[in-house]
A and B are shown apart, each in its own frame.
Chain A
Amino acid sequence: MALLRPLDKLPTLDVATILLLGAEETPLEQLGTAIIKECEGTAKVQVHVASCLPLPTDRECFRPRIDLIVFVLSLHSKYSLRTVEASLPHVDARFFLGKVCFLVTGVRKEPNTSIHMDAVRKMATAYHSPLLFGDLEVECFRASVAQRLIQILQICAGHVPGLSALNLLSMMKPCLELTMQET
């Protein structure tokens, strides 16, 4: 089975690539367009959208180096959690040094969620990756999530001099602290 590796290709000059992974297509596409709209003029960003890993091998040579993977989960759909869990083993271990983050949507709706927040938190702490919360349905919130992702992407692609993805990860607050405080 093919493994998605962070440094298996040379980087494209001045371009940063982000991969959005999630079960539902439309929110991912909307988020992708929002990201492209937000970074108009500043930097070149490529957005790839997929529903599960492994990525199809027939287009392997055309694909650029992936700088950031975002796993998109919805708190109301167990299916999304399962797809993410199924895709995680296909990611190389080196990606989890700051080039992966989890995005959770649907937190603002009524509290009867299918997935408990703890399950998501445990997954984020198990992989030591940052957990972001965002609402992808309202446009202005989508734009702010896009801005956040662009910031992280710039750092992960190495476009920010002096700051590496690992530095960013070390500076972010880990999820583990939160759960320990709660329990």
Chain B
Amino acid sequence: MELNQQNPAPGDIQDKEYVVDRKDKIIEECEELWKQMEKCQQEIALTGGERLNPSDAQLPLLMMRLKSLTAECNQWLERTPDIIPLNAENLVALGKEELQKLDHDLEILLSTVQSKNQKLHEDLRREQGWLDEQEELVASLNEICKELKNQVIPVSEKRTLLELKTKMTKIRRHRQKLLTSLGEVLDKHFPLPEENGNKKRKRECQPNARLMTMHEILEILINSLLHSPHDPYVKINDSFWPPYIELLLRSGIALRHQDDPSQIRLEAFHQ
């Protein structure tokens, strides 16, 4: 049973009547359906029940299922969908629902897009920071590179050789100065015993050989150490004045050989 569409007439009273009419129509429809149901139910009540045998239930059950399913299927096929009466109120309500749904979906979309946007902003900011750091690095490295290039270009072979030569001459001159001053100091402060001194002492020492100056003693020791480091020991002979030897030994400048007391060596200060 379908609802007949009544044209909405202008005027309040007629609208109210129209509304009441529609309600009545719906109630009428429901009453009809209920009466149909009662009829069907009476018929069902008359048919009586069917008992199932527990051991042998499957086949009858399946047959019943098949029948009911086909009946339902046919019912669905026959049925045409009821259209809700398309009047202004229903349309307005439907429209409102649709718009609300749309609004909800759009809000969700908006929030997701905003969060994505935010994330992208953050990523951009971070990447920008990295880019700046890298650029600074590149700039500083470029400067260092330039400086190094500037330092490298002026260096040529001749220049290095000349520099080395000047260094060498300087060092040699310094060495010479040191040696001469050392010799002067030694001669001044460590002279050979004079012949005018105690003759007794001289006789005790038996200065038969010529005595060497401190300078010469040290020279011999240095030479032996530098030229033959594997055997730096020098044998003491009579030309070595014993007090000087004692002085050298006591001050730690010379060392006695472990087994042979007549051999001494210079302490290796340079090692």
| CB of A126 within 8 Å of the partner chain | yes
* Chain A: minimal CB distance from B34 (Å): 8
Specify which of B41, B52, B53, B68 lies most central, judged by the most chain A CB atoms within 10 Å of its CB: B52
A83-120 near B? 1/0 per residue, CB < 8 Å: 00100110111101100000000000000000000000
Chain B interface, number of residues (Cβ within 8 angstroms): 22
For the complex, what is the distance from the CA of A119 to the CA of B53, rounded to whole Å? 17
Complex Cα–Cα for A85 and B57 (A): 13
Report the bound CA distance from A9 to B53 in whole Å.
24
Complex contact A127–B57 (CB within 8 A): yes
Interface string of B49-69 (1 = CB under 8 A from A): 111111101101110110011
In chain A, residues 138-181, which have Cβ atoms closer than 8 Å to a Cβ of chain B?
164, 166-167, 169-170
Q: Is A7 an interface residue (CB 8 A)?
A: yes
Residues of A close to B57: CB separation below 8 A: 96, 126-127
For A164, give the chain B residue with the smallest CB separation. B72
Closest chain B residue to A92 by CB distance? B49
CB proximity of B48 to chain A, nearest CB, Å = 9
Q: Known: A93-B61, A164-B72. Contact between A126 and B54, CB under 8 A?
A: yes
How many angstroms from the CA of A166 to the CA of B70 in the assembled complex? Answer: 11
**With a CB–CB cut-off of 8 A, which chain B residues contact A48?**
none
- Whether the pair B38, A94 counts as a contact (CB closer than 8 A) is no
- Chain A positions within 8 Å of B50 at CB level: 92-94
A8 at the interface (CB under 8 A from B): yes
Residue pair A166, B68 in contact (C-beta under 8 Å) = yes
Q: Are B49 and A128 in contact (CB under 8 A)?
A: no
Give the Cβ gap from B199 to chain A, nearest Cβ, in Å.
Answer: 126
Cα distance, A169 to B68, chains bound together (Å): 12
Docked pose: A147 CA to B25 CA in angstroms: 37
1/0 per residue, CB under 8 A from B, across A119-137: the answer is 0000001111000000000
A3 near B52: Cβ-Cβ < 8 Å: no
Give min CB distance, A89 to chain B, whole Å.
Answer: 6
Give the shortest distance, in Å, between B36 (CB) and chain A (any CB): 12
A127 CB to nearest chain B CB (Å): 6
- Decide if B152 is an interface residue (CB 8 Å cutoff): no
Q: Assess whether A8 is in contact with B44, with CB atoms less than 8 Å apart.
A: yes
Cα of A3 to Cα of B58 in the assembled complex, Å: 19
From known contacts A93-B52, A128-B61, A128-B62, infer whether A170 and B69 are also in contact, taking CB-CB under 8 Å: yes
Q: Is B45 engaged at the interface, CB distance under 8 Å to the other chain?
A: yes
Within 8 A of B (CB), among A1-27: 3, 5, 7-10
How far, in whole Å, are A141 and B64 apart by their CA atoms in the complex? 35
| List of B residues within 8 angstroms of A91 by Cβ | 52
Chain A, Cβ-Cβ closest to B60: A93
**Inter-chain contacts of A93 with B (CB < 8 A):** 49-52, 60-61, 64
Q: Assuming A7-B41, A7-B44, A166-B69, what are 7 further A-B pairs, CB within 8 angstroms? A: A8-B44, A8-B45, A10-B37, A91-B52, A97-B64, A164-B72, A170-B65
Q: Pick 27 A–B contacts, CB within 8 A, sort by A.
A: A3-B49, A7-B41, A7-B44, A10-B37, A10-B41, A89-B52, A92-B50, A93-B49, A93-B50, A93-B51, A93-B60, A93-B61, A94-B49, A96-B61, A97-B61, A97-B65, A97-B68, A125-B58, A126-B55, A126-B57, A127-B52, A128-B61, A166-B65, A166-B68, A166-B72, A167-B72, A170-B69
